[in-house]
Amino acid sequence: MAKKKRRGERPQSVDLPTVLRVFKESRKPLSQGEIVSMLKLSGKEVHRLRPLIEQLLDGGKLIKLGRGSYGLTERLKLITGKLEIQRSGVGFVIPEDKRRTDIFVSPQHFNGAWHGDRVAVALLPESHGRRPEGRIARVLERGATQLAVRVQRRMGELLLCRPTDPKRGFHLMVKADELVQTLGQDVFDGDILIVEAGEQLDRDLYSATAVSRLGPEGDVGVQESLVKTNYDIPTAFPQPVLDQAATLPEAPDEADMAGREDLRHLDLVTIDGVKARDFDDAVCVQREGEGYRLWVAIADVSHYVHPGTPLDEEALTRANSYYFPQSVCPMFPEALSNGLCSLNPHVDRLCMVVETAFDRHGRYGESRLYPAVMRSKARLTYGQVQRAVLLKEEEERLAIAPVLPMLEVAEELARKINTLRRQRGSLDFDLPEPEILFNLSGETTDIRRRTRHFGHQIIEEFMIAANEAVARFLTEREFPCLYRIHPEPDPGKLAALFKLLQSTSLGPKLDPEQTRTPTAEGVQHLLALAQGTEQEFLVNRLTLRAMMQASYDPQNEGHFGLASDCYCHFTSPIRRYADLVVHRSVKTALQAATWEHPFHSFKKLKQVAEHLSATERVAMEAEREILKRLTVLFLQDKVGAEFTGVVNGMADFGFWVELNEVMAEGLVRLSTLNDDYYAYLPDKQVLLGERTGRAIRLGQEVTVVLTDVQIGRLEVNLELATPVERTVPGRRARQKRRE
C-alpha cells in the first residue's frame, strides 16, 4: 500500500525513465507496491504504473522474478534474445543487442525454452573466448503459442503428439474426447493437428488443447498448412484490411490518370512463369539510332496504399508474399495483387516507369523516372519467349507476332547488358532450382531441375538495370533509400578456399597475392578459372558458402554479388514491402517535396530494414522446409532404389549427396561405411580412409541406395552402392610397399 505523502511533498510523475531510475537507485529487485511507495504516487498515477512495467518487461529491460517482484535485466547480468535450436539439438541465443555475439546453450540448460522463444540467458562463469556459453534463466515470450503437431499414438483417452518442427523436441498430450467434441470428427495416428500448448506436465511433456485438424500428413496441402503454422505465416487478412480493399475501384479512372504520361501506345509486355497470377513489371525496348531505349513499368501500388492505413500496416507486418508449391500467402489481398495493381493484359493500369537510354554496346545512358498509365499488349511466359525468340519456332512466332519484333530487340539489348555486367565482376552461380510437378489429385509426381534459359535472363537484366537506375536517382538527390546491400565474402572462408585449391590443378594458375590475402576482386577471376575444370563444382559451392547474406539497409554498402555500387529493390511492390518504401521515396523526390514518411528518420528506417530482412529469411526458411517435406513424402515409396549423384557437402559424421534422377539430397552417414575408418579433413574438404586411402571429396560422383526417409525428422538417408575408389594411399598400403 502506498505511504501517505507528507504535507508539502509532491508525488512524482510516472513514466518509463522514472521507473527505470527507481530500479537503478534501489539497487535491488522491487515489487509494484515498493515502486508506488518510493515514487509516492497519487491514486491517479498508480493505474498508469502497470502498463509501464509491462512495457519494460516486453522490452527486456525488466525480468519478472518470484513473489511479484521485478529486477533489472542488466543488474541480473542477463542477456535477452531469441533462442534458435539447431537440428543437432544444441541452441544459440541471438542477442537483441546487436553488439553481442551469439551465446551457445546446451540442451540441459534450455530450462523449458523452445525454439523461437524470446529468453533471458545468464552467462556461465567459465564462459569465455569467442563463443560464450549460457543457460536460459527465463522464458520471456513464447515464439509460438499454437503448434502444428503429429498424432503419434492414442493412449486411452489421450493422444500423444509431437511438434512437426524437428527443432521442438518435446511431446504434448491432447484429450481425445474433447478433440472429437470440438472438431466433430475422429482423429487417427499420423494426422496433423493445430494445438494450443498448455502447462508443463513433465520435463519434455506439456498439455495441449486442439484448435483444428489439418488432415493426414501425406497430403501436400496439409504439409503447406503446417509449415505456415510453424513459421507463423499470416494466412487470413484482418477485416479492416479487407474492408479498405473493398473500397478501392476495380480499375483506375480519369482522375487517377491525371498528370501521368500516357504509354498505352508502347508494346509493353509482361513475361512471367506459367503459374504466375500477379504481374508487377512490364518491359518494352526500341531501337534509338545505334542504341536502345528501355522502358520498365512497375505497378504503382503506392497510389492506392497510403502510409498508416490498414492495408499498409498489414503489408509492413507481412513484409513480403510467401510462395508455396500449391498456394501463396500474398502481401496484399487479391483485389490488389491480382486485380487493380496487377499489370493484366489489355486493361489500363497505373505504373511508375524507369526509362533508360543505352548505347550500342549496352552501356547505361540517361534515366528518367515518372508516373504513367499503361496497357499491357500481352501476358507472355518464359516458355513462349524461349520458343519464339530463342528457338525460332514458327508456330509460336505467329502466335505472338504483334510483339515479336520488340522482343527480338529486347533479347539483343539484354545480351549486351549481361556481357557488360559479367565483365564488371557480377557473380552468377547458376545453381539448379527445384520444380515440383503434381497430378490432378494434388500428389507429387516428380521433383526436377527447373529449366532456365535466356528468356528468364532478359527480364532479370532489365529489372537489375531499373533497380540500379532508381538507387542512383535517389542517391544523387540525397533522398532516403532502402538499399539492397550484399557485403563482401567472409575473408576467412575465402582464405581457406584458396589454400585448399593450392593442392589442385588450379594451384599454379592462382595469383600468389590472392592466395596469401584473398580479396573480393579475386573471386570473379577464380570462378572463371575453374569453369569447365574438374574443380568447378568445388569452387562454386565453397565460394557460395563464403558469401554473406543480402539484406536491406538505409546505409549504402554496395551489392557484391551484382558488382553494383548502388542498388535497391523497386520492381516488385506487390510482393515486397521494401519496394513500396522506395516507390514512396521516388515520388517524394519527383515532387521536390520535403521527405515526409512514417519512416522519415534514419533510425526508424533502419528498424524497418531489419524487420524486412528478418522476415525475408523466414520466407526463405519456410520455402526450404516445404520443399524438404514434399521431397521426403515423394521418396517414401522409393526406398531401396538406386540413384546417382554428386557429393555436395560434408561433415565429421557423413556427407550429403545431390541426386541426379530427382532434385533432392540425402545424407550418407560414416557409420554406414564398413570398409574403413574415415577422418574428416575440413581444410581439404575430404573424408579420408585411414587404412585404404579411399577419399570422398566435394563434387565427387557416387552411386547410392535410398535406405530410409523420416518425415518427422525431415531426413533422407542413403548408403553407398559401391565403395569409392582409392585415390590416396593408406598408411598400411604405404607401409607394405616399404617392406
Cross-strand partners of 141: 118
Residue, of 447 and 593, whose pLDDT is higher: 447
**Residue ending a domain, choose from 126, 141, 156:** 141
Residues 363 and 478 in one domain: yes
* H or E, element range at 282: strand 281-288
Q: Tell whether 702 is covered by a domain.
A: yes
Q: Are residues 572 and 514 in the same domain?
A: no
pLDDT, one tens digit per residue, over 510-557 is 877 766 666 666 787 888 888 888 788 888 888 888 889 999 999 999
**Residue 287 maps to a domain:** yes
Residue 650 has pLDDT above 60, yes or no: yes
Find the CATH number of the domain harbouring 151.
Answer: 2.40.50.700
Q: Which of 117, 141, 165 is where one domain is finished?
A: 141
212 with 288, same domain?
no
- CA dist 158 → 189, 213, 216 (Å): 12, 16, 19
Task: Return the C-alpha cell found at 557.
Answer: 554498402
Question: Looking at residue 45, which CATH number applies to its domain?
Answer: 1.10.10.10
Q: How, if at all, do strands 642-651 and 191-202 pair?
A: unpaired
Are 57 and 203 members of one domain? no
Neighbours of 713 (CB within 10 A): 11
Contact 39, 14 (CB under 8 A): yes
- CA distances (Å), 231 to each of 148, 198, 623, 677, in order? 10, 20, 10, 40
103 pLDDT higher than 70: yes
- Asked if 561 and 547 touch (Cβ cutoff 8 Å), the reply is yes
Q: Report residue 645 as a C-alpha cell.
A: 549423384
Whether residue 317 is contained in a domain is answered as yes
Termini Cα distance of the chain: 92
- Closest by CA to 301, choosing from 236, 371, 247, is 371
- Supply the pLDDT for residue 598: 60
Query: What single string gives the DSSP state of each residue in 158-203?
Result: EEEEEESSTT---EEEEEHHHHHHHHSS---TTEEEEEEEEEEEET
User: What pLDDT was estimated at residue 182?
Assistant: 72
Residue 6's pLDDT band, with cuts at 50, 70 and 90, is very low
Across all residues in the chain, what is the average pLDDT?
88
According to DSSP, the residues that pair with 82 across neighbouring strands are 94, 118
CA distance 728 to 186: 60
In a domain? residue 631: no
480 vs 310: which has the higher pLDDT: 310
Q: What is the CA radius of gyration of the chain?
A: 30
Of the pLDDT bands very low, low, confident and very high (cuts 50, 70, 90), residue 559 is very high
The pLDDT value given to residue 551:
96
Which H or E element spans position 456?
A: helix 454-476
- CB-CB contact of 526 with 534 (8 Å): no
Is residue 278 domain-resident?
Answer: yes
- The domain total for the chain is 6
**Which pLDDT value is given to residue 514?**
66
Whether 700 and 580 share a structural domain: no
For 381, the grid coordinates are 511466359
The rounded percent of the chain whose pLDDT value lies above 70 is 92
Helix, strand or coil, per DSSP, at residue 157: coil
- Residues 192, 157 share a domain: yes
Q: Which of the four pLDDT bands, split at 50, 70 and 90, describes residue 130? A: low
* CA-closest candidate to residue 285, choices 151, 451, 433, 403: 403
The pTM of this model reads 0.85
Question: What is the mean pLDDT of the segment spanning 99-115?
Answer: 89
Total length of the chain: 739
Where do we find the cell 549460457?
Answer: 134
474 and 502 assigned to the same domain: no
Most confident of 99-113, 129-143, 384-398, 675-689: 384-398
**DSSP codes, 291-308:** EEEEEEEEE-GGGT--TT
Q: Grid coordinates representing 435? A: 520444380
User: What's residue 726's pLDDT?
Assistant: 53
Q: Across-strand partners of 374?
A: 349
Structural contact between residues 139 and 112, judged by C-beta atoms closer than 8 angstroms: yes
Average pLDDT over residues 217-221: 92
According to DSSP, the β-strands at 551-553 and 103-105 are unpaired
pLDDT band of residue 56 (cuts 50, 70, 90) is: confident
Decide the pairing of beta strands 30-31 and 62-64.
unpaired
* Collapsed DSSP state (helix, strand, coil) of residue 613: helix
Please identify, among 91, 115, 141, the residue that sits at the C-terminal boundary of a domain.
Answer: 141
- Residue that wins the pLDDT comparison between 600 and 313: 313
pLDDT at position 717 is 96
Span 349-363, mean pLDDT? 97
Instruction: Tell which residue, 657, 652, 653, 725, has the closest CA to residue 683.
Output: 652
DSSP H helical segments within 202-355, as ranges? 220-230, 239-247, 254-257, 310-318, 334
8 Å CB contact between 614 and 665:
no
424's grid cell: 564488371
pLDDT for the residue numbered 425: 83
Residues 255-263 have a mean pLDDT of 95
Q: Which domain holds residue 64?
A: 16-72
pLDDT digits (tens, 9 = 90+) for 458-472: 999 999 999 999 999
Is the residue at 554 inside a domain?
Answer: no
Contact 704, 696 (CB under 8 A): no
Same domain membership, residue 277 and residue 172: no
Q: Per-residue confidence at 595, pLDDT binned at 50, 70, 90?
A: low
Secondary structure of the chain: what % helix, strand, coil (to 5)? 35, 30, 35
- Looking at the fold, whether 255 and 343 belong to one and the same domain comes out as yes
What pLDDT band is residue 504 in, cutting at 50, 70 and 90?
confident
**What mean pLDDT do residues 6-23 have?**
69
Lowest mean pLDDT among 179-193, 309-323, 460-474, 724-738: 724-738
Question: CA dist 638 to 10, 446, 457, Å?
Answer: 79, 12, 36
Residue 724, pLDDT score: 64
What percent of the chain has a predicted confidence (pLDDT) above 90? Answer: 56
Q: What is the mean pLDDT of residues 347-351?
A: 97
Please indicate, yes or no, whether residues 479 and 330 belong to a single structural domain of this protein.
yes
345/370 same-domain check:
yes
> For residues 325 and 450, what is the distance between their CA atoms, to the nearest angstrom?
13
| Position 640 pLDDT exceeds 90 | yes
CB 148 within 8 A of CB 163: yes
- pLDDT average, residue stretch 49-56: 84
Looking at the fold, whether 455 and 342 belong to one and the same domain comes out as yes
User: Would you call 602 helix, strand, or coil by DSSP?
Assistant: helix
Q: Read off the C-alpha cell for 176.
A: 481425445
Number of H helices, E strands in the chain: 20, 34
| 105, 107, 109, 115 alpha-carbon torsion, rounded to 10° | 70
Residue 670 confidence (pLDDT): 93
Assess whether pLDDT exceeds 60 at residue 452: yes
pLDDT category of residue 322 using cuts at 50, 70 and 90: very high
Q: Are 152 and 161 in contact, with CB atoms under 8 Å apart?
A: yes
627 inside domain = no
Please report the pLDDT score of residue 713 as a whole number: 87
- pLDDT at residue 337 above 50? yes
pLDDT at position 8 over 50? no
In this structure, what C-alpha cell is assigned to residue 195? Answer: 494445438
The residues, any chain, with a CB within 8 Å of residue 49's CB and separated by 6 or more, are 14, 19, 32, 35, 36, 41
| Residue 365 to residue 507: CA distance in whole angstroms | 41
Residue 609: inside a domain, yes or no? no
pLDDT band, very low/low/confident/very high, at 2 (cuts 50, 70, 90): very low
Whether 183 has a pLDDT exceeding 80, the answer reads no
Least confident of 126-135, 423-432, 498-507, 617-626: 126-135
- What is the maximum span of the chain, computed from C-alpha positions, in angstroms? 104
